[in-house]
Structure 1
């Protein structure tokens, strides 16, 4: 039997499985520890049958994985796009070579040579079925760290703790109903990630909430429930925590887009909840765009595929997420009709060398996050239209013409009133309210 203790705000701080206790402190973990867990595998270890485990600090989270305080090892986690921990490894002897499984070394004296077996440096290797059941699980050394599928902690019961609920990967269903399931009558309250675990991650076991963490690959990795706040957090540096559920170090809040009220060209009311579904992705992709620009890491090219100098891109004003949202409403009704290329960045008949530089493949279906990544950069490229000049010596000068001009040039189809419509939507937008979502 496993017993859990929670704080008044619902955060788990203690787990008791039999006589083994785990204490949680903002990502740090103290665990009941036996002497054999610190044994290096050399010689003979004789356990004491009457030994009482001692509480020791075991896990210290880092941006790359964690530090095992008992074994004095830095463990590095390789995670995939869904936050699944696929491989955990260390470099025990600091030789720069990762040894799989156990290996032997030979030490020779003047007369005899001895062979010593050492534990492998691949701590753990995980392969998952789509809904999270472990497949060909391999652990080569003792591992106190149990965060695996979606970066969630695997329990002794075989279920994963997502915060609001426990998840059963063997059947791809939650153990209890969704506490906000009444808001989604078309779906079973036990379904996991809309039955599409390859694309979606359920960060906490509840219906969509309002404080969202999105990594630099455009993947939502954590949500925090809030009935009054609408926030998006992005990784502010390469050292940001890879698992904000444990630590939010290195993450920063970025502006959310406003709610667009009306689409002038079609005379539609676009203020409903369906039009806000991509707001967190819009905020994240715009935030990452501005962050790259301001740090001199934004790589833009001309429509012909030639690089635009960093000196020119750093002079671009920050991009407004509400302007990006207005473009998505103009181009695709914000994806409400089923279009995933919400900025229409990869439409047939409008291909150029520029787009391959922005991670697009001609003719390939484009997701919402990839559409926003490429679309914001295409929009910026369009802002240099009419601002490129060459002097008599052949020196090329690039001058950004402003976001309004960029919107005008983004209208590849020549739609009448395109720029006016987009700018009007931006200007008439309103700050979001809980009822908008």
Structure 2
């Protein structure tokens, strides 16, 4: 923004201000250490600070100021944010020669009067710059190992020791396996949780693609089966998946495949979609993980009714409260479709949900909810506070009295009491007692989508390893009921799989991050997963507001969750679907780079041509010529792509070779001059193919003697479909003309674009839809 020193801006509210080049701004730093690229040295061109408004009342001017300090290589080595409540979060980084952090120190206060919390982290790396160890320490206490990593020769993470003392063997030794493409196939051994010399595994997970045990093999990267096992009951469970031609999930079939009587269909989920990807029906089994209900107990039989892409009503024909809660009158009379469950504002944000007794939702300028009122009663509500960049700062839940949660760059408070500090492998839980914070480290097992499947910790009193919580999900995020266990205690002896005892939960955590690592908001029956930009209702598999990137993904419905590809990908901040397997992202990037490289080779690949021409002049500049041409070149891209999509059965070859014969009427006009000592010949040639009538016009410049030397040419056919530009070297030998007849041999070696077929837009509707579907498949 810009304004003069005479007239100040009025009539509008500033949301954010960015500062560059120096630190002469309100609340900016004034004292610099010798390590910093400080104010006197003027860090020109660098972002030095920012101020962001806290979006409260219309007249409130609170904001958060942040700044960044740099070293002499212009690398950020200190960041500090001054919070609107008066506290701050400051992180100092010690970097190595290439810019990797060797250690960091984070200092934090919620308010100016709170005691400071200090977090120190230390990192070590291999010679290939791979992270080896990561340790964590709070307020000078015991150093905790977060991760000790091992890699194979390809750089893939194969093992990770997690938790315990910095010099210890780890509370868990997590092993990873991959297929030949580098896709994750396993976390620990699904067949046995015991490993000689290691602590017993608390969780194991396996992914099958083209080699399933019972499902249909899939060769396009889709997942055919997943298996999991936890040490709480040591029972193997699995899902088998099927998809439509756009890779959207159609059905997930649950099974306990091992035992005297295999249990099937207990937690099945199946769906149907319309052409925009909106869910038309969803069926879900649940409640019992046993053979009491053969074929499973259906808890949801949902039918969706729409107006364009906006959901108006969901009817549950089972009326079972264990799944989706249909609180409207149509729960008793499913044929009643007159009353709508959902209403929206002009921006497409949901403002009413009668199934959850939500009577109004208010949104800010970023289409993020600021107030949710239940039962038209203002004393039963949830309120949110954001900054102008959409970062959630506070949540206040009112049920008569208010409970306030503060979010401060990951660190979370409830009613001013610190709840937890997040780490790369889980979180540090805080128990506040007698005015003192008592910290305990909790670690998470996550699957390929970032779903938190199991949390565990070491009991500081007994030294035993405890499962704090385990969560297993339906594909669209609802949690399985009945067999997810509470806190259990297990021995760390590798030779034993036995449960020692069940105890009362210790240090009950306020950590409520579950499906895809997002916060699950279950207050007042809201039951949303809070992604950064949108909120997701996992019971019906839809977002509550329009995709901010809707114009980028025009082929996808604006309320759809993860493009309905919920098994092989995850939702990125409520914006877009991304592959869940990071290696798949790398493979896609490598494939794109490879295709570009092959096309480049074809463009610069040498094109060989040799012609044998017999001709007779019929006018001074016109002749009839009969020419036999032998030519060859490269076809790397088409050959590679054909081989890829045909599983190696393509007949397309990387090199081309061709012999052709033509009879042409040739008219040529040429002129010769000199550019310094070099002779330059320019010519315009018009050729008429006497066999098919096609006309080709060629402009050519040769630097050399006659037709021998370096050349550049451009040709264009009369049908306006073929054009080519080439450059290279050529030579020609001709016999003397006898009675107007002659013979010549010419050869060339050139590079440039191969003839490109020009195409016109295809307006055929079927082809257009096919192209759109292919885009989704990518």
> Which TM-score bucket, shorter chain as reference?
0.3 to 0.5
More helix by share: 1
Bigger CA radius of gyration? 2
TM-score (norm 1): 0.41
More strand by share: 2
- Tell me: higher relative CO, structure 1 or 2? Use CA pairs within 8 A at least 6 residues apart: 1
TM-score (norm 2): 0.24
